[in-house]
Each structure stands twice: as structure tokens, then as C-alpha cells.
């Protein structure tokens, strides 16, 4: 198929595009190369994708409607996978405007262009942060998502709501997947695994928020990519749910799907896995809870299993070891 992936220089978009290219698809990749973190890492990811003759990169900001429209008109993709976004929960405390531009305006432009140039399936990345202040565990796709705690999560929830409206008005099939703490090789330097590994390897302290009393549903990158690729074929059809617990909208070909391990891991166990992989104990600097953070995430994966026959398999010890191996090789540590 002809597939458009946004955010191909990013962590998840890079892995997704590489998998699609390996399967023989033709992939156009959009990325703006925003210097939120080291652009050299983004450039290296794109260089690897560029080794494939079926990859066509576009350095474009989705908030630029004219340039994004030119890409859509030139490519005429059959499927769009929208992963480009301003990431980071804590960064949103200081730079909220970047989330409005990238996550809301950019996503709106893509939705509007999918109306002008219809596609078989539009899939877009959301976040477990959409569940906000919910305390019922595990998080189910049919739970309310009306209490965002940061501008980041609010921007992602807004994208889901806009997508539902477009699906209803124009009968455009859309799937929004909520990611749960994705990690693995080529990950972002601002994420906990990257920062902890770097600090432990260098003998520097690691900041541990809420005194370590937190847990996350960690999802290994290969598992997440497998789930996303399988969801491409799970095109939502208005009025045709696949199970009694399907999140399919009653008025639109739109659904939300969790992609998580379904197994929350205490933060201190996660740090212990890094220590084992690095071969050195962490110097622990316990800190209070940060504004907008939540104590736990936990996904139900019943809908993902019903739609694709797949549930994530890679446990934290294995996934962390893979990351540390990549980290040592890439940085020569």
C-alpha cells in the first residue's frame, strides 16, 4: 500500500516506518525536525529509513496547511498513520503553546486533508494520559476521558474529539490508539529509561518522583509496532462493533484502542531492571510528585486482542536489556 506516516524522525514513527518498509509498503514520511531534543538522533533515524528506495521524506510542519496539503496531493496515500506530536508531559508546563500548534492545529490540518483526499483508514496516536484523573483500574477505552491533568493530555484528548467529529461528518474511518509508556531502542532522550540509563552509566544521581511510589504500564516498542500494524486492517465500520466492550462510536466509524502491556510495573522495579542491565546501582534522589503527573497507569488489552488477536509479550527485564545494549552501542558507553 501507499502509506503516509507523520513523525518518522521520532521514536515510534521511525520504528513504524521501518516495519512498513520491511513489509514492502511504499512510505512517505513527514517530520518537522523540531529541536525538542538532539536533532542528530532524528537525522540518524531518517538516514536509516532513507536507505530504502520506497521511503520518501518530507521536512514539513503539519501546522503549515499549504505544505502539508502539497504532500497529501502528491502522495495520495491509502492509509495515514499520524504519530507526529509535541511530546513530553513535563515540557508542557513551560511551553504549552507548542502543544496547541503541533498537536491541535497540526492534527486538525491532517483531518481536514483526509477529508479532501479520502483514505481507507486514518490512524492517530493518543496517550494513556487522556484518562487524566481517573482512578478506576485498569483503564478501559469506554471510560470517560474528561479530566486531563496537563496541556499535553488535553491536546491529545482534543485531537480524539476532533477526529470523532470528522469521522461522523464525512464517514472517514478513524482509529485512535492510546499508548502506554512506550520504551525501547532509539527512544527519546527525555524519557525516564533514557535518562536513568545515562545517569546510572555515568555514576550520576537519578531523580525519582513521588518517592518512587508510582507504577507504569510499560510497552516495548516492538510490541507496540506489531499492534499498530495489525490495527491498519481493523477498519472501524459505523454500527458494527466487534465485541460487547468495543469502544466503537454509535454515530461514527471511530474507535479508541489501548496499546499497553496490561501489566503495571512499580517504578522501583523498573529502576532495578536498569541497574541489572547496566551492571551498576543507581544513586537515588527521591523527589516529590510533579504537577500534572499521575501515580499509576494500567491498560486493559481486551479490545486490542479482539480486533487483532495480539497482546504485547515483552516483559520489562527483557525490553530494558535490549535498550541498554542499543544505548551502549550508539553512544559508545
Mean model confidence pLDDT for the chain:
95
pLDDT score of 91 more than 90: no
Quick one: pLDDT at residue 97? Answer: 86
H-type alpha helices, 149-261: 151-170, 192-202, 221-231
Quick one: pLDDT at residue 246? Answer: 98
2-183+220-260+300-313: CATH topology: Rossmann fold (3.40.50)
- Cα–Cα distance, 140 to 257 (Å, whole number): 9
Catalytic residue list: 152
pLDDT digits (tens, 9 = 90+) for 122-172: 999 999 999 999 999 999 999 999 999 999 999 999 999 999 999 999 999
Cα R_g (the chain), whole angstroms: 19
All three cell numbers of 168: 461522523
H-type alpha helices, 31-150: 39-49, 65-75, 96-99, 106-116
pLDDT digits (tens, 9 = 90+) for 202-212: 999 999 999 99
Q: What's the whole-number mean pLDDT along residues 80-85? A: 96
Q: What's the whole-number mean pLDDT along residues 248-259? A: 98
pLDDT digits (tens, 9 = 90+) for 160-185: 999 999 999 999 999 999 999 999 99
pTM, rounded to two decimals: 0.96
- Cα–Cα distance, 325 to 323 (Å, whole number): 5
> Quick one: which of 69, 72, 67 has its CA closest to 3?
72
Q: How many CB atoms lie within 10 A of CB 268?
A: 16
All three cell numbers of 126: 493518543
Amino acid at each position: 500500500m501507499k502509506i503516509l506516516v507523520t513523525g518518522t524522525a521520532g521514536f515510534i514513527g521511525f520504528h513504524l516506518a521501518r516495519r512498513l518498509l520491511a513489509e514492502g509498503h511504499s512510505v512517505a514520511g513527514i517530520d518537522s525536525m523540531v529541536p525538542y531534543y538532539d536533532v542528530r538522533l532524528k537525522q540518524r533515524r531518517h538516514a536509516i529509513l532513507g536507505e530504502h528506495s520506497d521511503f520518501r521524506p518530507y521536512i514539513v510542519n503539519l501546522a503549515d496547511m499549504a505544505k502539508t496539503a502539497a504532500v497529501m496531493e502528491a502522495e495520495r496515500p491509502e492509509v495515514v498513520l499520524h504519530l507526529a506530536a509535541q511530546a513530553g508531559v513535563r515540557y508542557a508546563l513551560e511551553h504549552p503553546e507548542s502543544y496547541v500548534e503541533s498537536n491541535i492545529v497540526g492534527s486538525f490540518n491532517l483531518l481536514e486533508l483526509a477529508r479532501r483526499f479520502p483514505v481507507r483508514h486514518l490512524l492517530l496516536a493518543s496517550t494513556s494520559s487522556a484518562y487524566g484523573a481517573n482512578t478506576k483500574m485498569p483503564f478501559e477505552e469506554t471510560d470517560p476521558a474528561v479530566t486531563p491533568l496537563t496541556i499535553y493530555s488535553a491536546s491529545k484528548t482534543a485531537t480524539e474529539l476532533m477526529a470523532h467529529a470528522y469521522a461522523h461528518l464525512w464517514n472517514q474511518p478513524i482509529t485512535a490508539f492510546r499508548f502506554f509508556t512506550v520504551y525501547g531502542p532509539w527512544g527519546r532522550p527525555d524519557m525516564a529509561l533514557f535518562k536513568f540509563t545515562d545517569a546510572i552509566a555515568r555514576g550520576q544521581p537519578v531523580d525519582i518522583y513521588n518517592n518512587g511510589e508510582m507504577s507504569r504500564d510499560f510497552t516495548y516498542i516492538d510490541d507496540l509496532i506489531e499492534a499498530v500494524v495489525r490495527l491498519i486492517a481493523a477498519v472501524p465500520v459505523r454500527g458494527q462493533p466487534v465485541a460487547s466492550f468495543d469502544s466503537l462510536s454509535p454515530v461514527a466509524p471511530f474507535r479508541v484502542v489501548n496499546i499497553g502491556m496490561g501489566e503495571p510495573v512499580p517504578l522501583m522495579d523498573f529502576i532495578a531492571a536498569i541497574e541489572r542491565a547496566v551492571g551498576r546501582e543507581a544513586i537515588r534522589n527521591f523527589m516529590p510528585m510533579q504537577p500534572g503527573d499521575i501515580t499509576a497507569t494500567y491498560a486493559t488489552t481486551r479490545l486490542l486482542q479482539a480486533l487483532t488477536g495480539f497482546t504485547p509479550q515483552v516483559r520489562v527485564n527483557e525490553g530494558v536489556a535490549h535498550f541498554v545494549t542499543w544505548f551502549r552501542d550508539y553512544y559508545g558507553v
